[in-house]
Chains A and B, each alone.
Chain A
Amino acid sequence: MAEVRATHDRRAASTDQAPAAHPLMPLEVHGVGFAAGGKQIIDNVSFTIRGGARTVILGPNGSGKSLLLRLLHGLLAPASGRISWAGLSPARARRRQGMVFQRPVMLRRSTLANLTHALAVHGMPRAQRREQARRALAVAGLEDRARQPARTLSGGEQQRLAIARAWALEPEVLLLDEPTANLDPEATAAIEALVRAVEARGTRIIMTTHDIGQARRLATEVMFLHRGRLLEHDAAHAFFAGPATPAAASFIGGGLPL
Protein backbone atom coordinates (compact mmCIF):
# COMPACT_ATOMS: atom_id res chain seq x y z
CA MET A 1 0.00 0.00 0.00
CA ALA A 2 2.81 2.40 0.81
CA GLU A 3 4.06 2.08 -2.73
CA VAL A 4 0.63 2.91 -4.12
CA ARG A 5 0.34 6.05 -2.03
CA ALA A 6 3.78 7.15 -3.10
CA THR A 7 2.68 6.81 -6.72
CA HIS A 8 -0.28 9.08 -6.15
CA ASP A 9 1.75 11.68 -4.30
CA ARG A 10 4.19 11.81 -7.15
CA ARG A 11 1.31 12.23 -9.62
CA ALA A 12 -0.21 15.05 -7.64
CA ALA A 13 3.12 16.80 -7.76
CA SER A 14 3.62 16.16 -11.47
CA THR A 15 0.31 17.77 -12.49
CA ASP A 16 1.61 21.10 -11.19
CA GLN A 17 4.51 20.99 -13.61
CA ALA A 18 4.55 22.13 -17.21
CA PRO A 19 3.23 19.54 -19.71
CA ALA A 20 6.66 19.33 -21.30
CA ALA A 21 8.07 17.59 -18.23
CA HIS A 22 7.54 13.89 -18.90
CA PRO A 23 9.16 11.80 -16.18
CA LEU A 24 8.74 8.61 -18.24
CA MET A 25 10.53 10.07 -21.25
CA PRO A 26 12.70 9.38 -23.14
CA LEU A 27 11.49 6.01 -24.31
CA GLU A 28 14.48 4.12 -25.64
CA VAL A 29 14.06 0.96 -27.70
CA HIS A 30 17.17 -0.95 -28.77
CA GLY A 31 17.17 -3.84 -31.24
CA VAL A 32 13.85 -5.26 -30.08
CA GLY A 33 12.64 -8.45 -31.72
CA PHE A 34 9.73 -10.78 -31.15
CA ALA A 35 8.87 -14.01 -32.91
CA ALA A 36 5.89 -16.31 -32.61
CA GLY A 37 5.17 -19.53 -34.44
CA GLY A 38 8.46 -19.33 -36.33
CA LYS A 39 7.54 -15.92 -37.74
CA GLN A 40 9.46 -12.74 -36.95
CA ILE A 41 6.67 -10.29 -36.04
CA ILE A 42 8.90 -7.50 -34.73
CA ASP A 43 12.33 -7.40 -36.30
CA ASN A 44 15.23 -5.47 -34.77
CA VAL A 45 13.32 -2.27 -33.99
CA SER A 46 15.23 0.65 -32.48
CA PHE A 47 14.08 4.20 -31.77
CA THR A 48 14.05 6.94 -29.17
CA ILE A 49 11.10 9.22 -28.52
CA ARG A 50 10.86 12.17 -26.15
CA GLY A 51 8.19 14.34 -24.59
CA GLY A 52 5.89 16.84 -26.21
CA ALA A 53 4.55 15.01 -29.23
CA ARG A 54 1.76 12.76 -30.41
CA THR A 55 3.50 9.75 -31.87
CA VAL A 56 1.52 7.70 -34.36
CA ILE A 57 2.78 4.24 -35.26
CA LEU A 58 1.48 3.88 -38.80
CA GLY A 59 1.40 0.78 -40.93
CA PRO A 60 -0.83 -1.68 -42.75
CA ASN A 61 -2.66 -4.44 -40.88
CA GLY A 62 -0.30 -7.18 -39.79
CA SER A 63 2.76 -4.92 -39.67
CA GLY A 64 3.25 -5.59 -35.93
CA LYS A 65 1.83 -2.33 -34.51
CA SER A 66 -0.32 -3.91 -31.78
CA LEU A 67 2.47 -6.21 -30.75
CA LEU A 68 4.95 -3.34 -30.52
CA LEU A 69 2.52 -1.47 -28.25
CA ARG A 70 2.15 -4.54 -26.01
CA LEU A 71 5.94 -4.81 -25.79
CA LEU A 72 6.18 -1.14 -24.81
CA HIS A 73 3.50 -1.65 -22.14
CA GLY A 74 5.27 -4.74 -20.78
CA LEU A 75 2.39 -7.13 -21.49
CA LEU A 76 4.82 -9.19 -23.56
CA ALA A 77 8.56 -9.56 -23.16
CA PRO A 78 10.78 -9.06 -26.22
CA ALA A 79 12.80 -12.06 -27.38
CA SER A 80 15.74 -9.78 -27.94
CA GLY A 81 16.67 -6.17 -27.33
CA ARG A 82 15.87 -3.70 -24.59
CA ILE A 83 13.09 -1.24 -23.80
CA SER A 84 13.61 1.54 -21.29
CA TRP A 85 11.17 4.21 -20.07
CA ALA A 86 13.51 6.82 -18.57
CA GLY A 87 15.55 3.94 -17.20
CA LEU A 88 12.57 1.87 -16.04
CA SER A 89 11.61 -1.52 -17.45
CA PRO A 90 8.18 -1.65 -19.17
CA ALA A 91 6.74 -3.68 -16.28
CA ARG A 92 7.93 -1.10 -13.76
CA ALA A 93 6.68 1.82 -15.85
CA ARG A 94 3.28 0.22 -16.52
CA ARG A 95 1.52 1.68 -13.50
CA ARG A 96 2.28 5.17 -14.80
CA GLN A 97 0.79 4.42 -18.21
CA GLY A 98 -2.69 3.86 -19.56
CA MET A 99 -3.48 1.39 -22.31
CA VAL A 100 -6.55 1.31 -24.54
CA PHE A 101 -6.99 -1.87 -26.53
CA GLN A 102 -8.40 -2.13 -30.02
CA ARG A 103 -11.33 -4.10 -28.65
CA PRO A 104 -11.96 -2.31 -25.35
CA VAL A 105 -12.27 -4.60 -22.33
CA MET A 106 -15.59 -3.79 -20.70
CA LEU A 107 -16.18 -5.25 -17.25
CA ARG A 108 -19.65 -6.67 -16.63
CA ARG A 109 -20.57 -3.67 -14.55
CA SER A 110 -22.05 -0.23 -15.01
CA THR A 111 -20.17 2.47 -16.90
CA LEU A 112 -19.41 4.22 -13.60
CA ALA A 113 -18.28 0.98 -11.92
CA ASN A 114 -15.84 0.33 -14.78
CA LEU A 115 -14.14 3.59 -13.79
CA THR A 116 -14.23 3.12 -10.02
CA HIS A 117 -12.88 -0.43 -10.39
CA ALA A 118 -9.75 0.79 -12.18
CA LEU A 119 -9.27 3.53 -9.58
CA ALA A 120 -9.68 1.02 -6.75
CA VAL A 121 -7.10 -1.33 -8.28
CA HIS A 122 -4.72 1.62 -8.49
CA GLY A 123 -5.19 2.20 -4.78
CA MET A 124 -7.20 5.43 -4.81
CA PRO A 125 -9.09 5.89 -1.51
CA ARG A 126 -12.80 5.10 -1.77
CA ALA A 127 -13.87 8.64 -0.92
CA GLN A 128 -12.10 10.11 -3.97
CA ARG A 129 -13.02 7.43 -6.51
CA ARG A 130 -16.57 8.55 -7.26
CA GLU A 131 -15.62 12.14 -7.82
CA GLN A 132 -12.71 11.24 -10.10
CA ALA A 133 -14.94 8.80 -12.01
CA ARG A 134 -17.55 11.54 -12.51
CA ARG A 135 -14.88 13.84 -13.89
CA ALA A 136 -13.76 11.14 -16.32
CA LEU A 137 -17.37 10.58 -17.45
CA ALA A 138 -17.71 14.31 -18.11
CA VAL A 139 -14.49 14.38 -20.16
CA ALA A 140 -15.80 11.49 -22.28
CA GLY A 141 -19.33 12.91 -22.53
CA LEU A 142 -20.82 9.83 -20.90
CA GLU A 143 -22.49 11.43 -17.86
CA ASP A 144 -25.95 10.18 -18.82
CA ARG A 145 -24.62 6.64 -19.26
CA ALA A 146 -23.21 6.29 -15.74
CA ARG A 147 -25.64 3.59 -14.59
CA GLN A 148 -25.92 1.74 -17.89
CA PRO A 149 -24.16 -1.65 -18.12
CA ALA A 150 -20.94 -0.89 -19.97
CA ARG A 151 -21.34 -3.79 -22.38
CA THR A 152 -24.61 -2.36 -23.71
CA LEU A 153 -22.88 0.87 -24.82
CA SER A 154 -22.26 1.40 -28.53
CA GLY A 155 -18.81 0.65 -29.96
CA GLY A 156 -17.83 4.31 -29.95
CA GLU A 157 -19.10 4.82 -26.41
CA GLN A 158 -17.21 1.76 -25.20
CA GLN A 159 -14.01 3.11 -26.71
CA ARG A 160 -14.62 6.52 -25.10
CA LEU A 161 -15.21 4.79 -21.76
CA ALA A 162 -11.94 2.86 -22.18
CA ILE A 163 -10.08 6.12 -22.81
CA ALA A 164 -11.86 7.84 -19.90
CA ARG A 165 -10.90 4.91 -17.70
CA ALA A 166 -7.25 5.35 -18.66
CA TRP A 167 -7.56 9.15 -18.25
CA ALA A 168 -8.94 8.76 -14.73
CA LEU A 169 -5.70 7.07 -13.65
CA GLU A 170 -3.80 10.22 -14.65
CA PRO A 171 -1.18 8.38 -16.71
CA GLU A 172 1.95 10.08 -17.90
CA VAL A 173 1.77 8.12 -21.14
CA LEU A 174 -1.35 6.84 -22.91
CA LEU A 175 -0.96 3.96 -25.36
CA LEU A 176 -3.84 3.48 -27.79
CA ASP A 177 -4.11 0.52 -30.15
CA GLU A 178 -6.19 1.38 -33.23
CA PRO A 179 -8.74 3.27 -31.12
CA THR A 180 -11.09 3.98 -34.03
CA ALA A 181 -10.91 0.75 -36.04
CA ASN A 182 -14.46 -0.23 -37.07
CA LEU A 183 -16.02 3.08 -35.93
CA ASP A 184 -18.12 5.44 -38.03
CA PRO A 185 -16.80 8.98 -38.81
CA GLU A 186 -18.81 10.66 -36.05
CA ALA A 187 -17.58 8.26 -33.37
CA THR A 188 -14.05 8.57 -34.77
CA ALA A 189 -14.22 12.37 -34.47
CA ALA A 190 -15.34 12.04 -30.84
CA ILE A 191 -12.44 9.69 -30.06
CA GLU A 192 -9.90 11.97 -31.73
CA ALA A 193 -11.22 14.97 -29.78
CA LEU A 194 -10.95 12.94 -26.59
CA VAL A 195 -7.36 11.95 -27.38
CA ARG A 196 -6.49 15.63 -27.84
CA ALA A 197 -8.20 16.45 -24.54
CA VAL A 198 -6.13 13.82 -22.77
CA GLU A 199 -2.96 15.17 -24.33
CA ALA A 200 -3.89 18.73 -23.35
CA ARG A 201 -3.61 17.63 -19.75
CA GLY A 202 0.02 16.69 -20.27
CA THR A 203 -0.27 13.00 -21.11
CA ARG A 204 2.13 11.75 -23.78
CA ILE A 205 0.18 10.02 -26.57
CA ILE A 206 1.51 6.98 -28.44
CA MET A 207 -1.02 5.33 -30.71
CA THR A 208 -1.24 2.96 -33.63
CA THR A 209 -3.39 3.26 -36.71
CA HIS A 210 -3.60 1.97 -40.25
CA ASP A 211 -5.73 4.99 -41.19
CA ILE A 212 -3.54 7.50 -43.05
CA GLY A 213 -6.13 10.27 -42.62
CA GLN A 214 -6.09 9.77 -38.89
CA ALA A 215 -2.30 9.87 -38.82
CA ARG A 216 -2.37 13.16 -40.75
CA ARG A 217 -4.92 14.63 -38.33
CA LEU A 218 -3.28 13.53 -35.09
CA ALA A 219 0.40 12.85 -35.52
CA THR A 220 3.18 15.26 -34.76
CA GLU A 221 5.61 12.38 -35.21
CA VAL A 222 5.18 9.27 -37.38
CA MET A 223 6.78 5.87 -37.10
CA PHE A 224 6.13 3.75 -40.19
CA LEU A 225 6.12 0.06 -39.44
CA HIS A 226 6.13 -2.52 -42.22
CA ARG A 227 6.45 -6.28 -41.81
CA GLY A 228 7.78 -5.86 -38.30
CA ARG A 229 10.51 -3.42 -39.30
CA LEU A 230 10.62 0.26 -38.48
CA LEU A 231 11.19 1.81 -41.91
CA GLU A 232 10.74 5.49 -41.06
CA HIS A 233 10.66 7.69 -37.99
CA ASP A 234 10.21 11.38 -38.69
CA ALA A 235 8.24 14.51 -37.89
CA ALA A 236 4.74 14.14 -39.35
CA HIS A 237 4.99 16.99 -41.85
CA ALA A 238 8.31 15.72 -43.17
CA PHE A 239 7.03 12.14 -43.41
CA PHE A 240 3.91 13.06 -45.35
CA ALA A 241 5.76 15.60 -47.55
CA GLY A 242 8.39 13.11 -48.65
CA PRO A 243 8.47 9.56 -47.40
CA ALA A 244 11.93 8.11 -47.71
CA THR A 245 11.03 4.51 -48.54
CA PRO A 246 9.04 3.07 -51.45
CA ALA A 247 6.81 1.10 -49.04
CA ALA A 248 5.79 4.24 -47.13
CA ALA A 249 5.31 6.21 -50.34
CA SER A 250 3.11 3.49 -51.74
CA PHE A 251 1.10 3.26 -48.49
CA ILE A 252 0.53 7.03 -48.32
CA GLY A 253 -0.38 7.07 -51.98
CA GLY A 254 -3.16 4.59 -51.35
CA GLY A 255 -1.37 1.60 -52.79
CA LEU A 256 -0.65 -1.71 -51.11
CA PRO A 257 2.93 -1.70 -49.77
CA LEU A 258 3.76 -5.26 -50.81
Chain B
Amino acid sequence: MNDFSAAFAMAAQLVLSLDPELVEIVLLSLYVSLSSVALAALFGLPLGATVGMLRFPGRRAVIVMMNALMGLPPVVVGLVVYMLLSRAGPLGEFGLLFTPTAMIIAQFILVAPIVSALSRQVVEDLHEEYGEHLRSLDAGPLDSVATLLWDGRFRLLTAVLAGFGRAIAEVGAVLIVGGNILHHTRVMTTTIALETSKGNLALALALGMILIVLAAAVNAAASILAGMGERQHG
Protein backbone atom coordinates (compact mmCIF):
# COMPACT_ATOMS: atom_id res chain seq x y z
CA MET B 1 0.00 0.00 0.00
CA ASN B 2 2.87 2.29 0.91
CA ASP B 3 4.59 1.45 -2.36
CA PHE B 4 1.44 2.32 -4.14
CA SER B 5 1.00 5.78 -2.65
CA ALA B 6 4.71 6.47 -3.05
CA ALA B 7 4.39 5.58 -6.73
CA PHE B 8 1.48 7.95 -7.05
CA ALA B 9 3.41 10.76 -5.42
CA MET B 10 6.38 10.23 -7.70
CA ALA B 11 4.14 10.02 -10.73
CA ALA B 12 2.49 13.32 -9.85
CA GLN B 13 5.96 14.78 -9.31
CA LEU B 14 7.04 13.62 -12.79
CA VAL B 15 3.98 15.12 -14.44
CA LEU B 16 4.10 18.42 -12.58
CA SER B 17 7.82 18.95 -13.12
CA LEU B 18 7.46 18.15 -16.82
CA ASP B 19 10.19 15.51 -16.59
CA PRO B 20 12.10 15.60 -19.92
CA GLU B 21 11.95 11.85 -20.50
CA LEU B 22 8.22 11.84 -19.83
CA VAL B 23 7.63 14.81 -22.14
CA GLU B 24 9.66 13.19 -24.91
CA ILE B 25 7.59 10.00 -24.69
CA VAL B 26 4.28 11.87 -24.66
CA LEU B 27 5.28 14.01 -27.63
CA LEU B 28 6.36 10.99 -29.68
CA SER B 29 3.06 9.25 -28.86
CA LEU B 30 1.12 12.28 -30.04
CA TYR B 31 3.27 12.62 -33.17
CA VAL B 32 2.76 8.96 -34.15
CA SER B 33 -0.95 8.80 -33.39
CA LEU B 34 -1.88 12.20 -34.82
CA SER B 35 0.06 11.44 -38.02
CA SER B 36 -1.58 8.07 -38.46
CA VAL B 37 -5.04 9.52 -37.78
CA ALA B 38 -4.45 12.41 -40.20
CA LEU B 39 -3.46 9.94 -42.94
CA ALA B 40 -6.37 7.66 -42.05
CA ALA B 41 -8.79 10.61 -42.33
CA LEU B 42 -7.30 11.65 -45.67
CA PHE B 43 -7.82 8.12 -46.92
CA GLY B 44 -10.90 7.02 -45.00
CA LEU B 45 -13.22 10.03 -45.33
CA PRO B 46 -13.32 10.10 -49.15
CA LEU B 47 -13.49 6.29 -49.26
CA GLY B 48 -16.31 6.17 -46.72
CA ALA B 49 -18.14 8.97 -48.52
CA THR B 50 -17.80 7.24 -51.88
CA VAL B 51 -19.07 3.90 -50.62
CA GLY B 52 -21.81 5.66 -48.66
CA MET B 53 -23.02 7.58 -51.68
CA LEU B 54 -22.58 5.32 -54.69
CA ARG B 55 -24.39 2.11 -55.53
CA PHE B 56 -22.21 -0.45 -57.30
CA PRO B 57 -21.98 -4.23 -57.58
CA GLY B 58 -20.19 -5.77 -54.61
CA ARG B 59 -20.94 -2.78 -52.39
CA ARG B 60 -22.42 -4.98 -49.69
CA ALA B 61 -19.21 -7.01 -49.55
CA VAL B 62 -17.08 -3.87 -49.32
CA ILE B 63 -19.14 -2.64 -46.36
CA VAL B 64 -18.91 -5.98 -44.58
CA MET B 65 -15.15 -5.94 -45.07
CA MET B 66 -14.80 -2.36 -43.83
CA ASN B 67 -16.79 -3.20 -40.71
CA ALA B 68 -14.83 -6.40 -40.12
CA LEU B 69 -11.48 -4.58 -40.44
CA MET B 70 -12.49 -2.28 -37.58
CA GLY B 71 -11.78 -5.15 -35.23
CA LEU B 72 -8.26 -6.02 -36.48
CA PRO B 73 -6.10 -7.27 -33.57
CA PRO B 74 -3.21 -4.79 -33.16
CA VAL B 75 -0.61 -7.50 -32.59
CA VAL B 76 -1.52 -9.18 -35.86
CA VAL B 77 -1.26 -5.87 -37.71
CA GLY B 78 2.08 -5.34 -35.98
CA LEU B 79 3.27 -8.77 -37.08
CA VAL B 80 2.24 -8.24 -40.71
CA VAL B 81 3.82 -4.78 -40.90
CA TYR B 82 6.93 -6.20 -39.21
CA MET B 83 7.23 -8.88 -41.89
CA LEU B 84 6.69 -6.36 -44.70
CA LEU B 85 9.28 -3.91 -43.36
CA SER B 86 11.92 -6.35 -42.07
CA ARG B 87 15.20 -6.63 -43.99
CA ALA B 88 14.03 -9.73 -45.82
CA GLY B 89 10.54 -8.39 -46.46
CA PRO B 90 9.23 -6.79 -49.66
CA LEU B 91 9.63 -3.26 -48.25
CA GLY B 92 12.85 -4.01 -46.36
CA GLU B 93 15.04 -1.82 -48.56
CA PHE B 94 13.53 1.36 -47.07
CA GLY B 95 14.93 0.51 -43.63
CA LEU B 96 11.75 1.59 -41.87
CA LEU B 97 11.52 -1.11 -39.22
CA PHE B 98 11.95 0.23 -35.65
CA THR B 99 11.28 3.82 -36.71
CA PRO B 100 8.35 6.13 -35.88
CA THR B 101 7.35 5.88 -39.55
CA ALA B 102 6.80 2.13 -39.16
CA MET B 103 4.61 2.85 -36.14
CA ILE B 104 2.59 5.38 -38.12
CA ILE B 105 2.07 2.80 -40.89
CA ALA B 106 0.87 0.17 -38.42
CA GLN B 107 -1.53 2.57 -36.68
CA PHE B 108 -2.80 3.82 -40.03
CA ILE B 109 -3.82 0.25 -40.87
CA LEU B 110 -5.65 0.02 -37.55
CA VAL B 111 -7.37 3.41 -37.78
CA ALA B 112 -8.25 3.72 -41.49
CA PRO B 113 -11.01 1.05 -41.33
CA ILE B 114 -12.55 2.77 -38.31
CA VAL B 115 -12.69 6.16 -40.05
CA SER B 116 -13.90 4.61 -43.34
CA ALA B 117 -16.61 2.44 -41.82
CA LEU B 118 -17.98 5.12 -39.49
CA SER B 119 -17.94 7.85 -42.15
CA ARG B 120 -19.59 5.48 -44.63
CA GLN B 121 -22.53 5.20 -42.24
CA VAL B 122 -22.69 8.97 -41.66
CA VAL B 123 -22.61 9.78 -45.37
CA GLU B 124 -25.09 7.05 -46.27
CA ASP B 125 -27.64 8.36 -43.76
CA LEU B 126 -27.22 11.92 -45.03
CA HIS B 127 -27.41 10.84 -48.65
CA GLU B 128 -30.67 9.07 -47.94
CA GLU B 129 -32.05 12.43 -46.87
CA TYR B 130 -30.32 14.75 -49.37
CA GLY B 131 -30.19 12.50 -52.43
CA GLU B 132 -33.29 13.74 -54.27
CA HIS B 133 -32.54 17.38 -53.54
CA LEU B 134 -29.00 17.01 -54.89
CA ARG B 135 -30.27 15.24 -57.99
CA SER B 136 -32.92 17.89 -58.45
CA LEU B 137 -30.12 20.48 -58.44
CA ASP B 138 -28.24 18.35 -61.00
CA ALA B 139 -25.29 18.23 -58.60
CA GLY B 140 -22.28 16.30 -59.91
CA PRO B 141 -20.49 13.65 -57.82
CA LEU B 142 -17.89 16.11 -56.51
CA ASP B 143 -20.48 18.69 -55.43
CA SER B 144 -22.50 15.92 -53.80
CA VAL B 145 -19.56 14.47 -51.85
CA ALA B 146 -18.51 17.94 -50.72
CA THR B 147 -22.04 18.71 -49.55
CA LEU B 148 -22.37 15.44 -47.63
CA LEU B 149 -18.93 15.72 -46.00
CA TRP B 150 -19.53 19.32 -44.93
CA ASP B 151 -23.02 18.71 -43.58
CA GLY B 152 -21.83 15.58 -41.77
CA ARG B 153 -18.81 17.38 -40.33
CA PHE B 154 -19.72 17.01 -36.65
CA ARG B 155 -20.42 13.30 -36.86
CA LEU B 156 -17.40 12.74 -39.13
CA LEU B 157 -15.13 14.46 -36.61
CA THR B 158 -16.51 12.07 -34.02
CA ALA B 159 -15.47 9.20 -36.29
CA VAL B 160 -11.95 10.62 -36.55
CA LEU B 161 -11.78 11.02 -32.76
CA ALA B 162 -12.79 7.39 -32.36
CA GLY B 163 -9.84 6.52 -34.58
CA PHE B 164 -7.52 8.65 -32.46
CA GLY B 165 -8.76 6.95 -29.30
CA ARG B 166 -7.88 3.60 -30.81
CA ALA B 167 -4.42 4.75 -31.96
CA ILE B 168 -3.26 6.47 -28.78
CA ALA B 169 -4.26 3.57 -26.51
CA GLU B 170 -2.94 0.76 -28.70
CA VAL B 171 0.20 -1.12 -27.63
CA GLY B 172 0.60 -4.33 -29.62
CA ALA B 173 1.33 -2.95 -33.08
CA VAL B 174 3.68 -0.13 -32.07
CA LEU B 175 5.59 -2.44 -29.73
CA ILE B 176 6.30 -4.96 -32.50
CA VAL B 177 7.19 -2.55 -35.32
CA GLY B 178 8.71 0.18 -33.12
CA GLY B 179 10.71 -1.98 -30.78
CA ASN B 180 10.29 0.38 -27.78
CA ILE B 181 13.77 1.89 -28.27
CA LEU B 182 14.67 4.62 -25.75
CA HIS B 183 14.68 8.16 -27.23
CA HIS B 184 13.62 6.73 -30.57
CA THR B 185 10.42 4.70 -30.65
CA ARG B 186 9.30 4.67 -27.04
CA VAL B 187 5.68 5.79 -26.70
CA MET B 188 3.33 5.93 -23.71
CA THR B 189 1.78 2.51 -24.02
CA THR B 190 5.01 0.65 -24.72
CA THR B 191 6.73 2.46 -21.85
CA ILE B 192 3.94 1.51 -19.46
CA ALA B 193 4.27 -2.14 -20.50
CA LEU B 194 8.07 -2.09 -20.08
CA GLU B 195 8.32 -0.06 -16.86
CA THR B 196 5.61 -2.08 -15.17
CA SER B 197 7.46 -5.31 -15.90
CA LYS B 198 10.65 -3.68 -14.58
CA GLY B 199 8.86 -2.59 -11.40
CA ASN B 200 9.27 1.13 -12.13
CA LEU B 201 5.70 1.95 -11.27
CA ALA B 202 6.15 5.72 -10.96
CA LEU B 203 6.86 6.41 -14.62
CA ALA B 204 4.27 3.85 -15.70
CA LEU B 205 1.65 5.45 -13.49
CA ALA B 206 2.52 8.97 -14.63
CA LEU B 207 2.08 7.94 -18.23
CA GLY B 208 -1.06 6.02 -17.35
CA MET B 209 -2.57 9.13 -15.83
CA ILE B 210 -1.76 11.21 -18.90
CA LEU B 211 -3.20 8.51 -21.13
CA ILE B 212 -6.43 8.42 -19.14
CA VAL B 213 -6.73 12.20 -19.25
CA LEU B 214 -6.16 12.13 -23.02
CA ALA B 215 -8.72 9.37 -23.55
CA ALA B 216 -11.26 11.21 -21.41
CA ALA B 217 -10.56 14.46 -23.27
CA VAL B 218 -11.11 12.74 -26.63
CA ASN B 219 -14.40 11.29 -25.45
CA ALA B 220 -15.51 14.61 -24.02
CA ALA B 221 -14.60 16.37 -27.27
CA ALA B 222 -16.56 13.79 -29.23
CA SER B 223 -19.71 14.20 -27.18
CA ILE B 224 -19.41 18.00 -27.15
CA LEU B 225 -19.06 17.99 -30.94
CA ALA B 226 -22.03 15.68 -31.34
CA GLY B 227 -24.05 17.91 -29.03
CA MET B 228 -23.06 21.03 -30.95
CA GLY B 229 -24.12 19.47 -34.24
CA GLU B 230 -27.39 18.31 -32.73
CA ARG B 231 -28.18 21.69 -31.18
CA GLN B 232 -27.32 23.71 -34.25
CA HIS B 233 -28.76 21.56 -36.95
CA GLY B 234 -30.95 18.88 -35.42
Residues of A within 8 A of B (CB): 70, 73, 75, 94-95, 98-99, 101, 105, 107-109, 117-118, 120-122, 149, 151-152, 169
Q: How far is the CA of A149 from the CA of B132 in the complex (A)?
A: 21
Q: How far is the CA of A94 from the CA of B139 in the complex (A)?
A: 11
Q: Given the complex, which residues of B lie within 8 Å of A117, measured CB to CB?
A: 147
Please state if A121 and B138 are interface contacts (CB–CB under 8 Å): yes
Total B residues in contact with A, Cβ cutoff 8 Å: 19
CB distance from A91 to the nearest CB of B (A): 9
CB < 8 Å: which of B135, B136, B147, B232 contacts A107? B147
Please state if B137 and A105 are interface contacts (CB–CB under 8 Å): no
Residues of B within 8 A of A (CB): 129-130, 132-139, 143, 147, 150-152, 229, 232-234
A–B pairs, 26, beta carbons within 8 Å: A70-B132, A75-B132, A75-B136, A94-B135, A95-B138, A98-B136, A101-B133, A105-B133, A107-B133, A107-B151, A108-B151, A108-B152, A108-B233, A109-B151, A109-B233, A117-B147, A120-B143, A121-B137, A121-B138, A121-B139, A121-B143, A121-B147, A149-B232, A149-B234, A152-B233, A152-B234
Please state if B130 and A105 are interface contacts (CB–CB under 8 Å): yes
Please state if A75 and B135 are interface contacts (CB–CB under 8 Å): yes
Q: Given the complex, which residues of B lie within 8 Å of A122, measured CB to CB?
A: 137-138
A94 in contact with B136 given A109-B151, A149-B234 (CB within 8 Å): yes
CB distance from B158 to the nearest CB of A (A): 14
Q: Given the complex, which residues of A lie within 8 Å of B143, measured CB to CB?
A: 120-121
Q: Given the complex, which residues of B lie within 8 Å of A149, measured CB to CB?
A: 232-234
Please state if B135 and A118 are interface contacts (CB–CB under 8 Å): no
Residue of A nearest to B138 (CB): A95
Q: Assuming A105-B129, A107-B147, what are 16 further A-B pairs, CB within 8 angstroms?
A: A70-B132, A75-B136, A94-B136, A95-B138, A107-B130, A107-B133, A107-B151, A108-B229, A109-B233, A118-B137, A120-B143, A122-B137, A149-B232, A149-B234, A151-B233, A151-B234
CB distance from A148 to the nearest CB of B (A): 10
Q: Given the complex, which residues of B lie within 8 Å of A70, measured CB to CB?
A: 132
Q: Which 3 pairs across A and B sit closest by C-beta, in order of nearness?
A: A108-B233, A105-B133, A151-B234
Q: How far is the CA of A151 from the CA of B232 in the complex (A)?
A: 8
Residue of A nearest to B129 (CB): A105
CB distance from B30 to the nearest CB of A (A): 31
Q: Given the complex, which residues of A lie within 8 Å of B133, measured CB to CB?
A: 101, 105, 107
Q: How far is the CA of A118 from the CA of B134 in the complex (A)?
A: 9
CB distance from A145 to the nearest CB of B (A): 14
Q: How far is the CA of A56 from the CA of B68 in the complex (A)?
A: 51
Q: How far is the CA of A98 from the CA of B135 in the complex (A)?
A: 11
CB distance from A117 to the nearest CB of B (A): 7
Q: Given the complex, which residues of A lie within 8 Å of B152, measured CB to CB?
A: 108
Please state if B132 and A105 are interface contacts (CB–CB under 8 Å): yes
Residue of A nearest to B144 (CB): A121
Please state if A99 and B136 are interface contacts (CB–CB under 8 Å): yes
A101 in contact with B132 given A108-B151, A151-B234 (CB within 8 Å): yes
CB distance from A65 to the nearest CB of B (A): 16
Q: How far is the CA of A95 from the CA of B136 in the complex (A)?
A: 8
CB distance from B17 to the nearest CB of A (A): 46
Q: Given the complex, which residues of B lie within 8 Å of A95, measured CB to CB?
A: 138
